[in-house]
Amino acid sequence: SQQGEEDPQALSIQEGENATMNCSYKTSINNLQWYRQNSGRGLVHLILIRSNEREKHSGRLRVTLDTSKKSSSLLITASRAADTASYFCATDRGSTLGRLYFGRGTQLTVWP
Amino acid sequence: GAVVSQHPSWVICKSGTSVKIECRSLDFQATTMFWYRQFPKQSLMLMATSNEGSKATYEQGVEKDKFLINHASLTLSTLTVTSAHPEDSSFYICSARDVRGTEAFFGQGTRLTVV
């Protein structure tokens, strides 16, 4: 990947369970974003967390950011089969130009 | 939210031909657009930054003569894959940044298959 790594690379859970995905990066950042991608389709923006924020919530999503460890986590609570998708983190590497550098992604499968 | 449209959504072409992909910001102006490539089951790789009225900036390892980028207006950037080969088959996605903000909005992607 251009920026860092997500782990796990694949995650398989049952509906109702929580899914946690982690992302690590290597450079300074202004913000970190999480995206979702259904198979073979475009990206859906989920959440943006700024470098001075530690935690952010949006519906069933909870994102944390630890800049000292250069890592972030995405938690999806009470997962649904419709949450099945690939999830990517992306950072700006400290640039304000809008370029994004993506991690390898986690393929989440939620079984009904 | 802002809408970015890519066209075509998929294309099949013969080896050796060139293919043009368009990226349009429909309801906002974008001085900067970005092109990414994604191989199957892999992540998105930033290819280049497209700047309105000036030359594109390419990421290391991306051949600028192979992937021609034109950003002729504040709402349109094009990526032309020249002399396409099967290894160029990929999913190409653009994003556009509103001149007034910091967020970039993504198109729906173009799946290119070179046969």
Provide the CB-side half-sphere exposure for B12 (13 A, CA).
1
Name the band, by pLDDT with cuts 50, 70 and 90, for residue A98.
Answer: confident
Beta partners for residue A61, in sequence order? A58, A76
pLDDT tens readout for residues A5-43: 677 889 999 999 999 999 999 999 999 999 999 987 889
State how far the alpha carbon of B81 is from the alpha carbons of B21, B56, B65, B89, B110, in Å: 8, 14, 9, 10, 12
Show residues of chain A in contact with B105, CB under 8 Å. Answer: 45
- Torsions phi, psi for B30 (to 5 deg): -130, 110
pLDDT tens readout for residues B25-44: 998 888 899 999 998 888 99
pLDDT of A4 reads 61
Lowest mean pLDDT among A30-44, A93-107, B5-19, B91-105: B91-105
pLDDT of A42 reads 86
Q: Which of residues 48-67 of A touch B (CB under 8 A)?
A: 48
pLDDT of B102 reads 65
pLDDT tens readout for residues B49-96: 998 888 899 999 999 999 999 998 999 999 999 999 999 999 999 999
A47 in B contact zone (CB under 8 Å): no
| Tokens 């657009």 sit on residue | B33
Evaluate whether B33 touches B99 at the Cβ level (below 8 Å). no
More confident residue, B14 or B31: B14
B48 in A contact zone (CB under 8 Å): no
Q: Which of residues 60-79 of B touch A (CB under 8 A)?
A: none
Residue B74 distance to chain A (closest CA, Å): 16
A93 in B contact zone (CB under 8 Å): no
Contacts of B72 (CB under 8 A, 6+ apart): B52, B53, B78
A39 in B contact zone (CB under 8 Å): no
Task: With H, G, I as helix, E, B as strand and everything else as coil, classify residue B37.
Answer: strand
pLDDT, average across residues A86-110: 91
pLDDT of A88 reads 94
pLDDT tens readout for residues A65-74: 999 999 999 9
